[in-house]
Copies of this chain bind each other. A is one copy, B any other.
Amino acid sequence: MTIGIGLLGLGTVGAGVAAILSSPEGRHPLVGQLALRRVAVRDLSRPRPVDLAPEVLTTNPEAVVDDPAVDIVVEVMGGLEPARSLILRAIAAGKSVVTANKAVIARYGEEIAAAAAARGVYVLIEAAVGGGIPIIEPLKQSLGGNRLQRVSGIINGTTNYILSRMAEEGAAYDAVLADAQRLGYAEADPAADVQGGDAADKIAILTGLAYGGSVPRASIPTEGIDRLDSRDVAYAAQLGFVVKLLAVAQHLGTADDGTELLDVRVHPTLLPRQHPLAGVHGVNNAILVEGDPVGQVMFYGPGAGAGPTASAVVADILNIAGIRQVGGAPGQLDPLLAAGSWRLCRLVDGSRTRHRNYVRLQTRDQAGVIGRIGTCFGDAGVSLQSIVQFEGQNGAAEIVAITHEVLEQHFRTALDAIEALAEVEAVAACLRTL
């Protein structure tokens, strides 16, 4: 039984998918049953890294979706439109979809999932998070027996590359970013990566799968690494921590009305050096899933790149192809693979969440300043793990405090009081700590 594949986009990922489909030897035998029927490209005359018959190529993506020889539509063109419309068009035509498009899924996931459920087709997104790392399928197919408590991850390779080099070399953010751009690890416009938006897209997707209900992508508090000072990376290291851009989705409880209460966020985070995520270097990604009764499981690997992403896209195609062999009435889906939502979730008010915090203060170098700062924390009910004075510039001092896990509201009250102290010149940095 041959299954026809239509490809929307033949960039690096699309070409990677085409390369796998055209060389099935040594892969799962089901790959040999996939036939690449139609490929939409922007420019017919551009040279291609893969050999494709000219009649396979078209500049009209709708022709790919509509082609009756195409059973599964693979969207790897990126961008919000026309990707979203083409995905919906494929669903309406009763075709399952595989997409690597995290931006579309993070924003229009509910609309797309509802359309797919109504039409009885799959929309699979393994490649949208963590590149080649199997994380979407394990969340759907291997952890369903658990009550998940937390999903946290390093899910943006560009920022992890930058942070790894800042930590290793003591280099400044701007210098490493420029270098990363030269090396192709960062885009010319790096905003989506360094400001945390890409990681927020991905944690929005993981949240929906882990907790069975979505949260609005736009409401996820997101802080990037673009204002991170290399001094904080260095101080963190001296205190036994590594700074990573972490995306976190934490289950806090269930409201009286049955809604699941979540704390979902993206921000630079101090991790204790022995934490499983602290050893993730360079452009690698890793996702830590914590649940009952499984405990902590971690998924690690290359978070981007043509080959790894193509591996994830083909995994999705194979899942759809495998289930087709079972037969069954049209529109009857495997609920694990389809992964509909089954609960209502909402984000809790940030001031009611609890965190450990790292805070760096610029102060005048005067006797008693540590005591007065400590008193401000104590008066607000914020207990400290450590408070350390570092040598500042021009006779000033820098004081770094790390709190225990405290209510955000109390922490903010303490900071307000500290800022009002005469000896404190500035709250120079404020980072979350695991």
> Which residues on A are within 8 Å of B, measured CB to CB?
16, 19-20, 26-31, 126, 132-134, 137-138, 141-147, 212, 254, 276, 279, 291-302, 305-308, 310-315, 317-319, 322-323, 325-329, 332-337, 342
Contacts and interface: CB of A to CB of B under 8 A. Distances in A.
Residue among A296, A311, A327 facing the most chain B CB atoms (10 A cut-off): A311
B308 A301 contact: no
Contacts of A312: 142
Contacts of A305: 295
Contacts of A327: 326-329, 332
A307 B294 contact: yes
A43 B20 CA distance: 54
Given A28-B212, A145-B28, A315-B143, A296 B301 contact: yes
A141 B315 contact: yes
24 contacts: A27-B144, A27-B145, A27-B147, A28-B144, A30-B335, A137-B137, A137-B142, A141-B322, A143-B315, A144-B318, A293-B306, A293-B307, A295-B305, A295-B308, A297-B300, A297-B301, A298-B298, A322-B335, A322-B337, A323-B323, A325-B335, A326-B328, A326-B333, A327-B327
A143 to B, nearest CB: 7
Contacts of A146: 27, 311
Nearest to A310: B293
Copies of chain A in the complex: 2
* Dominant SS among interface residues on chain A: mixed
Contacts of A311: 143, 145-146, 291, 293-294
A157 to B, nearest CB: 12
A16 B145 CA distance: 11
Contact of A145 (B31, B141, B335): B31
Contacts of A294: 132, 301-302, 307-308, 311
Contacts of A336: 28, 30, 318-319, 322
Contacts of A297: 132-134, 299-302
A213 B141 CA distance: 24
A253 to B, nearest CB: 11
Contacts of A29: 212, 335, 342
Residue among A291, A294, A302 facing the most chain B CB atoms (10 A cut-off): A294
